[in-house]
């Protein structure tokens, strides 16, 4: 259960970016999380509300885009998506395939903010 630490890292990074837009409120945070990243969306959502309380992210929605694992097969040269994490084999030729090309991502993709327009 390190999702609380992960949530805190997201809040820090987003707060940092949001500080360039004074007075802005963050409405939504979009993540890209690989299936091998050891982060469980449900746990992260569960932590979100308490993690954002009292920050510019308070009330924001967390959107998690989970990326499947894609391996590159040394035997047949194709790239393909693993059907499960129980077996790292090429989906085309069934040879062992340990060369992971996607699935370890742990990224903030974008944020949506409401900007206060400057008044003169």
Partner 1 sequence: MTTRIVELRRGILKKNDELAAGLRSRFTAANVLVLNLVSSPGTGKTTFLERTLRELRSGGARVAALVGDLETDNDARRLAASGAPVRQINTHGICHLDADMIDKHLSAWEGVTLSGLDYLFIENVGNLVCPSSYDLGEKIRVALLSVTEGEDKPLKYPTLFNSADAAVITKIDLAEPCGFDRELALRNINEIRPGIRVFETSARSGAGMDGWLAYLAAERAGRNA
Distance in Å, CB of 11 to partner 1, minimum: 10
What string marks each residue from 24 to 43 as x (binds partner 1 by CB under 8 A) or -?
x--x---x----xxxx----
Closest CA to 32 of 110, 109, 112: 109
Closest CA to 17 of 116, 119, 108, 120: 108
Site for partner 1 in 95-114 (CB under 8 A): 96-98, 100, 104, 106-114
Count of residues engaged in binding partner 1, rule: CB under 8 A: 40
Of residues 70 through 89, those in contact with partner 1 by CB under 8 A are 85-89
Establish if 15 lies at the interface with partner 1 (CB under 8 A).
no
Cα-trace Rg, the chain:
18
Whole-angstrom Cα distance, residue 82 to residue 108?
A: 24
Binding residue for partner 1 (CB under 8 A) from 10, 47, 52, 70? Answer: 10
The DSSP code for 73 is -
CA-angle at 84, arms to 78 and 86, nearest 5°: 105
Straight-line distance from the first to the last Cα atom of the chain, in angstroms, rounded to the nearest whole number: 48
Question: What is the contact surface with partner 1 in residues (CB under 8 A)?
Answer: 1-2, 5-6, 9-10, 12-14, 17, 21, 24, 27, 31, 36-39, 85-89, 96-98, 100, 104, 106-117
């Amino acid at each position: 259960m390190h999702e609380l630490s992960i949530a805190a890292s997201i809040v820090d990074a987003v707060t940092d970016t949001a500080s360039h837009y004074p007075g802005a409120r963050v409405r939504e945070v979009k993540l890209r999380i690989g299936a091998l990243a050891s982060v469980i969306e449900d746990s992260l959502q569960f932590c979100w509300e308490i993690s954002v309380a009292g920050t510019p992210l308070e009330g924001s929605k967390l959107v998690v885009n989970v990326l499947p694992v894609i391996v590159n097969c040394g035997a047949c040269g194709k790239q393909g998506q693993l059907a499960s994490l129980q077996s790292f084999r090429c989906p085309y030729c069934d040879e062992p395939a340990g060369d992971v090309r996607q699935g370890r991502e742990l990224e903030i993709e974008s944020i949506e903010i409401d900007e206060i327009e400057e008044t003169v």
